[in-house]
Amino acid sequence: MNVVPRELMTKIPVSSADFRGAMRHLTGGVSVITAGRGKDITGMTVTSVTSLSVDPPTLLVSINRDASSFPLIRRHGAFGVNILAADQLDVAERFAGKGGLKGADRFAGAQWVTAASGVPLLVGALSVVDCEVEEIVERHSHGIVIGRVRDIKNSARTAALAYWHGQYVAVDQDEDAARLAEVSVPVRSLRGA
């Protein structure tokens, strides 16, 4: 059963600049959402993919209702999640609309396979997830799209693409784990470990 949105009691004015400033501190993994089938395809770069539940396997993504992917996701009831590797920055930029590219033109320059649901999935992504739409909750400017996972392909690659403070950053398991290990030594010794 869906919960009815609460009538908020407090009307505290928060500026969008302050809100954006807070969100810039949030490091987000970068994915490309793909939608549609055949030649009627499009996609978009997002950082809002989040795991919802493991059993059943579901995830959610928050998508602007004006984005070209939104009507295709709703019409076909399916979408793909392509979790980008650090060397797929060019794909992230194309699907964020760089150069004014739209629809099927965004897919050029990378290799794609077709999922069982019909959506394109990116070859070489860290993971690709084929989802069926379970529910779309429309709230404010966005739709919270809940996807039931139908298929997953994980790669053995690890270096991820993230977005932080308005820029793309690479998160490399080998390099960053070594650096974190160095940092964690003084932290432990401070606690008297």
Ligand X SMILES: Cc1cc2nc3c(=O)[nH]c(=O)nc-3n(C[C@H](O)[C@H](O)[C@H](O)COP(=O)(O)O)c2cc1C
- Residues near ligand X (CB under 6 A) are 30, 42, 44-48, 62-64, 67-69, 95-97, 163
* Six token digits for residue 49: 């993919």
Q: What is the nearest approach in angstroms of ligand X to the Cβ of residue 4?
A: 25
Q: Which ranges of 96-172 does DSSP label H, i.e. alpha helix? A: none
The residue (of 102 and 153) whose beta carbon lies closer to ligand X is 102
The residue (of 107 and 163) whose beta carbon lies closer to ligand X is 163
- The Cα 153–Cα 40 span in angstroms is 24
* Six token digits for residue 95: 């699907």
Q: What is the nearest approach in angstroms of ligand X to the Cβ of residue 124?
A: 19
Q: What is the nearest approach in angstroms of ligand X to the Cβ of residue 15?
A: 21
The residue (of 61 and 128) whose beta carbon lies closer to ligand X is 61
The residue (of 13 and 99) whose beta carbon lies closer to ligand X is 99
* Six token digits for residue 155: 């790669």
The residue (of 98 and 179) whose beta carbon lies closer to ligand X is 98
* Six token digits for residue 34: 């793909």
Q: What is the nearest approach in angstroms of ligand X to the Cβ of residue 12?
A: 25
Reference 30, options 92, 78, 80, 87; nearest CA is: 92
Q: What is the nearest approach in angstroms of ligand X to the Cβ of residue 138?
A: 13
Q: Which ranges of the chain does DSSP label H, i.e. alpha helix? A: 16-23, 69-76, 89-95, 173-190
Please count the CA atoms within 13 angstroms of the CA of 152 that sit on its side-chain side. 11
